[in-house]
Each structure stands twice: as structure tokens, then as C-alpha cells.
Structure 1
Amino acid sequence: MTIPSYVPGLPAKGAALAGFQQVELPGKERVQPLWTIPPPKRTADPAEYLRRKSRAIRNGSGLHPGWLDARTVEEALDLVVEHVWQEVGATLMGTELRPVTGPERAPAQQIAAAGTAQEWDSGLGVRVRLRAAPDATLRDRCRELVGRLGDLELDLLLDLYELGSIDDAVARVLLAWREIGALTEWRTVVLLGGSFPWGAKELKDHDLTVWPRLERQVWQAVRDRIEPPGATVTYGDYSTVHPRSGEVRPGGGATFYEKPRYTTAEHFLISKGAEWGQDEPSHMKTLAARIVGDSEFRMSRSAGERWLQAQADPAVAEDPGNPSVWVEKGHIQHITFVADQVRDADR
């Protein structure tokens, strides 16, 4: 296994899978996503949903290194094993995705994940969720998990989820590392977190909002304070979506706005235009022009930039797209840029 320089946490949805496919080499070689299967609609047939989703993952990313977390659908563990883990690995070339477990999960899930990792000879991801300060039982639960997994190669995925206070997030990571860092020789240590806003309530109407990338600031603080000195902490984030995007059941009633998005060195540039599906005139060309005119815009760097440039061009016919397109293009430019950004930070 090659050690990644960047791990985006991505929901296994059409926009993220299509966006990742369009990230170009050589930057893509340094990226290893953590894919999360989103929960299905309550009316969906579980077996068919998992079969369809696993095939989409296999076709979209299965031969590219990364991790696959089925936590949101593991109530029916036998179906997960049959229709996710086996299906994703069922090609002549195999798969480069590693299954994921965690200390809070049932022993049956941990054992099943370990069995799949042994069958694939892939190693196993251990995702430790740090939404709050680690409690006193974290070390014990992780020690039991590590003992249950035998001699597998293990990757530690420290997941801060939604970020607010930088100081609080740094404290959570350092405390968790003190408790579990020495339990085993972790093959890879990844720090995940996301600050991209959920919904559009916090965004300016028909305008551009500059939003800080808190996950980058937390990673910069942690990597300089981790013990022992020199330990490598791989940067991870949730790209240009909120962490909840991989955990919310699909349903009606949501309101969508035109939302082109862009990533700079320290911020997200997020626009809020017309309400999608209504009769309101589009604001996309004006908003895209604001992004393209930013001093940090990377002209023609990826398909994401080229799409924004076309949107901003008054000579190009107006076609603002839809919510899936805005998410897809956001993933392309973000992953392309961050792969280079963390590479340069390590030099």
C-alpha cells in the first residue's frame, strides 16, 4: 500500500463518484478517498440498494486505493457482506478499497470486516469518531478491537466530523492520540474534519460568502504537536460538502439554491443564487464571474475551473445546471487543488 497525502471523506453518491473520476493524474495518485455508503430511502429494498450502490462504487472507484465504510447500512450485516464487500471485490483485478470498522461497532461487524480484509489482503481502516472529547472507555474499546483483529495491518482514521472551535478540535485529537496512538503500529494515521456549511441559511443571498477552512487549520496545529515527533498525520476533509451529506436519508422537502463553490488556500468561496426549480431568474453567471475573478482562481486547472469559466462567460449560453452538477464540479476542483496543496506542505 502506498501512503496517501490526502484523504477526502466522500459519500458514495453520483456527484462524488463522477467528480472523483474526473480528477486528473498525477494528483489523483496521491489521493485515497474514504467512501461512505449513504443510507437508503426507508422504502428501498435493502438487498437491491446495496447491490446497486456497491456496483456504482466498484465501477467508479473500486480499483483506486481508499477505504469503504458501510456503517450507515450495517443493521443488515449479512447483506453488507454479500452485496457490498463481496460485490466490490468481485472483479478479476480485485479491489484497492479497504473495509472499515470502529471501536463502537458490534463485535460481529468487527469480525466480518476483519475477515474481508484478510480475504482481500488489504488491511483494515479503524474509524474513531471524535464528535466530542474522548471518554474514559476509548482506550479499552480500542484495545479490545485491536486484539480482536489479530495481525492485520491497520489504518487509524480520526474523524472530528463537523468543526467549530479549532482549539477544542485540536484538544480532542491530541487526547485521543494519547489514549490509542501506542496501542499498535498504525500503518496510516488520517485526520478528518469538515467545516463546509450545511444548507444555505448562513450564506448571503445572491452573493459570495467567504468561509474559513477550519479543517486545514486543525491539521496544521495537530501535525506539529503529535507525539512522537515526526509521526505522520495525513490530511483529510469532507471536500466541498458537509459531513452529514453521507449520513442523511434522501427525501423530499429540501430547498436547493444555485451554489457554485470554490476552494482557495484558506477559504471556501460559496455562492447562493436562485432557488432551484422555481421561476426566479438565474444568478449563476454573475456568481461564477465573482469566483473566476478572485485572485486565487486557478484558470483552467481542472474540469471544475473550466466549468466555472464557461458559466462566467457571457458568450456561452446560460445553463446553470442542477444541485448534482454544482456538487460534482466542487469536488473536482477541490480534490485537484488539495492534492497539490498538501504535497507542497510536506516538502
Structure 2
Amino acid sequence: MATPSYVPGLPAKGAALAGFQHVEIPGKERVQPLWTIPPPKRTVDPAEYLRRKSRAIRDGPGLHPGWLDAHTMEESLDLVVQHVWQEVGATLVGTELRPVTGPERTSEQQAATAGIAQEWDSGVGVRVRLRAAPDVRLRDRCRELVGRLRGLELDLLLDLYEVKSADEAVARALRGWRDIGTLTGWRTVVLLGGSFPWGAKELKDHDLTEWPRVEWQTWQAVRDRIEPPGPTITYGDYSTVHPRSGDARPGGGTFYEKPRYTTAEHFLIGKGAEWGRDEASLMKTLAARIVGDSEFRTSHSAGERWLQTQADPAVPEDPGSPSVWVEKGHVQHITFVAGQLREPDR
């Protein structure tokens, strides 16, 4: 498994799976996703659901290196042992994915993760959620977990989850590193965080909103604050979706036309007509404003080409659907960020 240069946290949904597959860049093997299996509808059989998700990952980007986190399916010991890693493991054995565990999970889940890592001949991702309030027992739980995983190659995924303030997020990240960083020789240390808004309440109606990429600011500050011989801190984010997108059950909510675009320091997010209602589309207007932005990268990826088509007045109106908007957002974001990381201080 090559050392990652960028870790996008992605829910194993159709839009993200397709978006990642449509990213075409040199060195893509070093862009290594953290895939999260989102929870199913409550009426769905969990074993069959896991089989479907495992096949979708295998048949899509499954042979690509990365990590797989099934924490939303680990509500009981039976689900952990008999369904989660049995179903996922049987389908994905031989891939370059690494199973994920964490200090807050049960000893049974941790043992099941170690077992599947041995079966896959892989390492383990240790995902540590760094909450706003200090966790006085976090170091002890992480030390116990590292002891249970002795003999396996370990990756540390420091997860800030939602980030709103760079100063607060930097403090959380540095506190987490002080607590956990010296417990073992981590193969990789990843700092994850996401600032993309949840829903559309915070966006301007029928307009573009410029939204700061706080996770990018946070990573730059943390990278500069950890002095040698500290490790290289790999950048991770949640692409152009909120971190909750991998944890929330499907259903409910109101959807608006939402083209999204990533610039050096901001997201450009449109909010157009309500999807599924008999409203005049605003997608052409919003796309034209994005394409006209000074930082727009003409034809840089399938995401940009889609926006250019949307903005073209000669092309018949076809605004797409929520899954299309998410997919195109992932394509342009991952393509851009992978390049941005080659020159992070430009």
C-alpha cells in the first residue's frame, strides 16, 4: 500500500463511488479514500445490505487502496462478527482496503477488525474522533487498543469531524496528537475534517454562497506546528459533503439544486430551485456564475466540463438530480485537491 498524499472521507454511496472512479489524475494510487458504509433504511436486511455495498465497492474502486469503516453497522456483537466483517470480508478479501476500528468501539469489534486485517494481510486504520471537549480517558483507551493490535501495521486517522473555527480545530488536533501520537510507530497519520455545510439552511436562496474551507486552514496550521521529528501529517477532508453524510440514515429533508465548486480557500455553493417541485430551474444561472469565477479551471475534470455544459445557453436545460450534483462535486474537488497538495503553500 503506497503512502497516501490525500485522504477523502467518502460515504459508500453511488454518487461518491462514481465520483471517485471518474477522477483521472497521475498518482491516483496515493489518493486513498476512507469509505464509510452509511446506515440503511430500518426496513432493510443488514446482511443483504452489506453484501450489496461490498459488491459496489469491489466492482467500483475496491482494488484501490484506502480504508473501510463499518461503524454504522456495528450495533451488536452479532452484526459485528456474523454480518459486518464476514460479509464485507468475504467480498473484499484481496483488495487493498484496510479495516477501521477505534478506541470507543467494543473489544469484540476491535478483535474482529484485527482478524479481518490478518485475513486480508493488511494493516488497520485507527479512527479517533477528536471532540470539542477534552476526553480524559482517550489516551488510555488508545493505548489499550494499540496493545490489542500488536503486530499489525497501524494508521492513525485523527478525525475532527465537523470544523467551524480553525483556531478551535487546531487546538483539538494538537491535543489529540499529544495524547496519541507517541503511543506507537504509526505508518501514516491523517488529519480529517469537514466544513461543508449540512443541508441548505445556511446558504443564500437563489444565489451562490462563498464558504471557507476551514479544514484546509486547520491542516496547514497543524502541519506547521508539529516540529521534527514529528510525522508528516497527511491531509484529509470530507470532499464536498458534510461529515454526517456517511452516518445519517436515508430519507427526509428538502433538496435544492446545489452545484458546488472548490477553490483554493473556499467552496462556491449554489442554492437553486427545490428539487421535485414544479419550480423554474436556476441551474444554468448558478453554473454560469461558477464558470465565470476567476478561479474556475476550464475543462480541468469531468466536474468542470459538466458545469460548463450547464452554463452553456445553447444546451437544452437538464439540471440533473441530487446524486448528479454530489458526484460532479466529488470529481472536481478530489481532482483539484490532489493537485493543490503538490504545491500546498502556493
Q: TM-score, with normalisation over the residues of structure 1? A: 0.96
Structure 1 gaps, min length 5:
none
Of stretches 24-33 and 164-173 in structure 1, the one that deviates more from structure 2 is 24-33
Helix, strand or coil at the partner of 2:190:
strand
What residue identity is the alignment partner of 2:91?
A: E
Q: Would the alpha carbon gap of residues 340 and 27 (structure 1) be closer, same or farther in structure 2, given more than 3 Å must change?
A: farther
Question: Using the alignment, how far apart are the partners of 2:30 and 2:121 within structure 1?
Answer: 21
Q: Report deviation, 1:165.
A: 1.7
Question: Using the alignment, how far apart are the partners of 2:240 and 2:203 within structure 1?
Answer: 14
Q: State the match for 1:19 in structure 2.
A: 19
Question: Using the alignment, how far apart are the partners of 2:225 and 2:147 within structure 1?
Answer: 28
Q: State the match for 1:335 in structure 2.
A: 334
What residue identity is the alignment partner of 1:104?
A: E
Q: State the match for 1:152 in structure 2.
A: 152
Question: Using the alignment, how far apart are the partners of 1:236 and 1:156 within structure 2?
Answer: 12
Q: Report deviation, 1:346.
A: 7.8
**Is the 8 Å Cα contact of residues 2 and 29 (structure 2) preserved in structure 1?**
no
Helix, strand or coil at the partner of 2:341:
helix
Alignment of structure 1 residues 1-347 onto 2, 5 Å:
1-75=1-75, 76-77=79-80, 78-89=82-93, 94-251=94-251, 253-345=252-344
RMSD of the TM alignment (CA)?
1.2
Question: Using the alignment, how far apart are the partners of 1:278 and 1:160 within structure 2?
Answer: 36
What residue identity is the alignment partner of 1:314?
A: P
Moved over 4 A (4+): none
Q: Would the alpha carbon gap of residues 228 and 141 (structure 1) be closer, same or farther in structure 2, given more than 3 Å must change?
A: farther
Question: Using the alignment, how far apart are the partners of 2:343 and 2:174 within structure 1?
Answer: 24
Q: Report deviation, 1:29.
A: 2.7
Question: Using the alignment, how far apart are the partners of 1:231 and 1:107 within structure 2?
Answer: 28
Helix, strand or coil at the partner of 1:245:
helix
What residue identity is the alignment partner of 2:309?
A: A
**Is the 8 Å Cα contact of residues 85 and 99 (structure 1) preserved in structure 2?**
no
Aligned residues: 342
Question: Using the alignment, how far apart are the partners of 2:15 and 2:147 within structure 1?
Answer: 38
Percent identical: 81
What residue identity is the alignment partner of 2:298?
A: M
CA-to-aligned-CA distance 1:61-106 (integer Å, 9 cap, x gap): 11000000000001211200221122122xxxx2010000000000
**Is the 8 Å Cα contact of residues 27 and 336 (structure 1) preserved in structure 2?**
no
CA-to-aligned-CA distance 1:260-289 (integer Å, 9 cap, x gap): 000000000000000001111000000000
Q: Report deviation, 1:230.
A: 4.9
**Is the 8 Å Cα contact of residues 25 and 335 (structure 2) preserved in structure 1?**
no
Question: Using the alignment, how far apart are the partners of 2:331 and 2:110 within structure 1?
Answer: 33
